[in-house]
Structure 1
Amino acid sequence: MWMVCGYAEARQVLSDPRFSRGAAAARGLAGTPTRRVRNPLERTHLPDLVRSQLVVGWQEASRRIVTSLLALLEHGDQLEVLRQRPSLLPRAVEELLHHDPHPASSLPPRLATEDIDVTGTLIPDGAAVVVPVFAANRDPRAFPAPDTLDITRPAEDHLAFGQGAHYCPGAHLVRATMRAALNAFLALPAT
């Protein structure tokens, strides 16, 4: 199994369709061959997709709201900047998503469907690749001062929701929920 921790490498693995994912990748890890599906989303999949968005999307939004509030409370200077400049809320949401160090923010493993060069390292056909998003989002080669919470920083192209074909379909739900929750929190009297 390979672990890709750099930002550039993670972007390549997440956006390259030659890396399969999900149940197929899990079957491949168990030794069962995987197969490529040309059009995996069919009408029969829609109820499951909607159900997963309602359940998983709300769980992820709740977790992100809690970690965002904790981060703002731990970085009172950033909370004060946000209170003084509420127009920074969309940028703050992106920075909080980027900054979230939760190890559970790793994505499901991918399987290489052929030999693939990832920034100079050959990933062999059939190899499993794990992308810990929290590590890629903290790559100093891609993000200046990656461990510093700075809600005034221009929104970077973080990987909190994956990339390319593997982009989380619930990302907009999580962002909208975070904006609403943080907006409500900012409306509370400061103590």
Structure 2
Amino acid sequence: DMAAAAAFSSSCSALRPSLAPLRRWRALSRPVPRAAYSTSSSPRSAASDEATIISGTQLAKQVLKEVQRDVESWISFGNKRPHLTVILVGDNPASHIYVRNKIKAAAAVGISSEIILRPKDISQEELLDMTVKLNQDSTVSGILVQLPLPDHLDERTVCNAIAPEKDVD
């Protein structure tokens, strides 16, 4: 699923900072002569006679395969398998779907993950305490707090509490 691949790729930049996906995108995009898709017969300059066609499906598959290889290579060098912890507060259906897709994408590339589900009435203090504990947990490679949070919680404060090296958003 292209959306899951794109979401996962963007949210894992902290685990794998690289310009490689952009380079792959450029390699997959190819110029196509305007005559191949235009019925206009008006003369145009050479520069305007080309369009770029990108295969989103092909790009998503290629990015997923590369991330799989990167994860397996990371592990083969004796490192621990990356682990993503997602904090999901409340019962927003869109947030649940989005998080479920991130978890599926993580599994597809060999990254373990978990969802910590908390009720919408969780206190700011409880949420911050949880974040501090996850920051200190050596088994957690990345932390994601799914937004939006309920109105009584300060999103900026919660997100800023995540250690930069574990912040995958």
**TM-score bracket, shorter-length normalisation:** under 0.3
> TM-score, normalised to structure 1's length?
0.22
Greater relative contact order (Cα < 8 A, sep 6+): 1
Greater strand share, structure number = 2
- Highest Rg: 1 or 2? 2
> TM-score, normalised to structure 2's length?
0.24
